[in-house]
């Protein structure tokens, strides 16, 4: 179950120029993609903080969206196949002030207080189209997708610079009466990222749960005549016995498999599927769920921590807990190494195990 500090495991593929219809690159520890990623991380580190401006709503009465800040630290190459980097991210105005005993408070309304996250790139030992990114989450948030976006933009900038340099070299050769070289094909990297699915972890969550509730929900306008007042309808079913656990396990595994395939079921399909499972166990009357358009399952453990399983998002399900306080490098990587080995077996991906001592020695040096 989620804690303040946790981690998520992502499976990533890299494509040339576009994803649809393209074959992903080899991303092994000896590949050009791995070399490009380290190079681009170095460039992002040299740029210091990057501010990402969101698209603002046209209506000026609607509150403005905050600007996001991303600061990429120095990438540490622990091994050819393991790269560690600290990424700090925050939002302007997310905290009004900072306080400390015995010190005047600091006004932070125009600042972007950043949280630090360990990001670990793990490349396969043998030729493969998939590599792994492990992201430390803080209060259920991680910066992986922002970092992938920055890497994609950096790769596009490299492609543009290479094309401009090539055109300049061709123009110079032509002016000097020298043979003009043929145009080369320049590539930018596009990344496809999906969270790793871990069936054994779903089973462990359900096995340790002290309670589980399936909540069907809908919201809309009344079908009565005259002004159509909005309504909200909720149906909650408590799943207390082994029948209920089987329903949660079956639904969670299927939703995770669909999410991993890149073709998650719609909310209405999730309602229909869970309703069918509940009806089969006589936990829901036939057609009772037909009036609802959304459903989720909330699972709670003995410590009061909860996890939500929904058809369209499994991010929180596969957020592995680490600690409530800020973990040391050793404590964090020990938890990561244990879980990573299990997930890599399920993904059938040849990723070398993490040596916690090796990581610590590299970072301390």
pLDDT in tens, 182-203: 888 899 999 999 988 888 888 8
| SS3 per residue for the chain | CCCCEEEEEEEEEEEECCCCCCCCCCCCCCCHHHHHHHHHHHHHHHCCEEEECCCCCCCCCCCCCCCEEEEECCCEEEECCEEEEEEEEEECCCCCEEEECCEEEEECCCCCCEEEEEEEEECCCCCCCCEEEEEEEECCECCHHHHHHHHHHHHHHHHHHHHHHHHHHHHHHHHCCCCCCCCCCCCCEEEEEEECCCHHHHHHHHHHEEEEEEEEEEEEECCCCCCCCEEEEEEEEECCCHHHHHHHHHHHHHHHHHHHHCCCCCHHHHHHHHHHHHHHCCCCCCCHHHHCCEEEEEEEECCCCEEEEECCCCCCCCCEEEECCCCCHHHHHHHHHHHHHHHHHHHCCCCCCCCHHHHHHHHHC
pLDDT digits (tens, 9 = 90+) for 15-46: 999 998 999 999 999 999 999 999 999 999 99
136 and 147, same domain (yes or no): yes
**Residue 43 lies inside a defined structural domain of this protein:** yes
Q: Which residue has the tokens 């393991």?
A: 82
Q: Does residue 83 form part of some domain? A: yes
CA angle 170, 165, 188 (to 5 degrees): 120
Q: How far is residue 335 from each of residues 6, 323, 332, measured CA to CA in Å?
A: 9, 10, 5
Residue 143 and residue 260 in one domain? no
Cα 194 → chain centroid: 7
150 and 234 both lie in a single domain: no
- pLDDT for 361: 94
Asked if residue 264 has pLDDT above 80, the reply is no
In a domain, 293, yes or no: yes
Q: What is the pLDDT of residues 304-344, one digit of tens each?
A: 777 888 887 777 788 999 999 999 999 999 999 999 999 99
150 shares its domain with 92: yes
At 268 the pLDDT is 87
Number of domains composing the chain: 2
Average per-residue pLDDT in the chain? 89
pLDDT for 2: 57
360 and 236 within one domain: no
What pLDDT score was predicted for residue 224?
Answer: 54
pLDDT of residue 340: 96
Task: Identify the domain boundary among 317, 338, 354.
Answer: 317
202 shares its domain with 229: yes
Range of the domain at 189: 1-196+327-365
Task: Looking at the structure, tell me whether residues 34 and 126 fall in a common domain.
Answer: yes
User: Does residue 170 belong to any structural domain of this protein?
Assistant: yes
> Are 245 and 115 within one domain?
no
Same domain as 158, residue 63: yes
322, part of any domain: no
- Clarify whether residues 2 and 80 are in a common domain: yes
Q: What is the pLDDT of residue 165?
A: 92
Residue 222 clears pLDDT 70, i.e. is over it: no
Same structural domain, 203 and 287 = yes
- Please tell me the pTM assigned to this model: 0.85
Same-domain pairing of 150 and 277: no
pLDDT band at 71 (very low <50, low <70, confident <90, very high): very high
Q: What percent of the chain has pLDDT over 90?
A: 52
Position 1 in a domain: yes
């Amino acid at each position: 179950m989620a804690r303040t500090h946790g981690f998520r495991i992502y499976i990533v593929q890299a494509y040339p120029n576009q994803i649809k219809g393209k074959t992903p690159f080899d991303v092994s520890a000896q590949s050009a993609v791995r070399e490009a990623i380290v190079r681009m991380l170095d460039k992002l580190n040299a740029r210091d903080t990057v501010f990402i401006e969101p698209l603002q709503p046209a209506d000026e009465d609607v509150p403005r969206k905050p600007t996001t800040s991303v600061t990429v630290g120095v990438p540490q190459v622990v091994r050819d196949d393991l790269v560690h980097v600290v990424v700090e991210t925050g939002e302007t105005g997310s905290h009004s002030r900072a306080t400390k005993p015995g010190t005047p408070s600091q006004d932070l309304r125009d600042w972007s207080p950043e949280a630090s996250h360990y990001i670990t790139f793990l490349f396969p030992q043998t030729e493969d189209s998939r590599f792994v990114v492990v992201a430390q989450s803080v209060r259920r948030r991680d910066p992986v997708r922002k970092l992938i976006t920055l890497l994609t933009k950096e790769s596009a900038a490299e492609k543009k610079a290479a094309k401009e340099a090539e055109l300049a070299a061709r123009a110079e050769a032509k002016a000097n009466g020298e043979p003009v070289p043929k145009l080369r094909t320049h590539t930018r990297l596009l990344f496809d990222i999906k969270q790793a699915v871990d069936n054994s972890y779903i089973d462990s969550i359900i096995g340790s749960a002290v309670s589980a509730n399936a909540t069907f929900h809908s919201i809309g306008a009344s079908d009565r005549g005259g002004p159509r007042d909005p309504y909200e309808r909720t149906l909650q079913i408590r799943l207390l016995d082994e029948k209920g656990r089987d329903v949660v396990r079956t639904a969670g595994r299927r939703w995770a498999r669909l999410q991993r395939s890149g073709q998650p079921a719609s909310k209405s399909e999730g309602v229909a599927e869970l309703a069918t499972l509940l009806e089969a166990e006589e936990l829901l009357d036939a057609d009772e769920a037909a009036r609802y358009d959304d459903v989720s399952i909330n699972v709670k453990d003995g410590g009061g921590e909860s996890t939500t399983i929904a058809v369209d998002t499994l991010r929180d399900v596969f957020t592995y807990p680490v600690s409530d306080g800020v973990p040391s490098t050793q404590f964090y990587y020990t938890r990561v190494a244990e879980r990573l080995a299990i997930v890599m077996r399920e993904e059938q991906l040849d990723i070398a195990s993490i040596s916690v001592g090796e990581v610590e020695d590299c970072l301390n040096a």
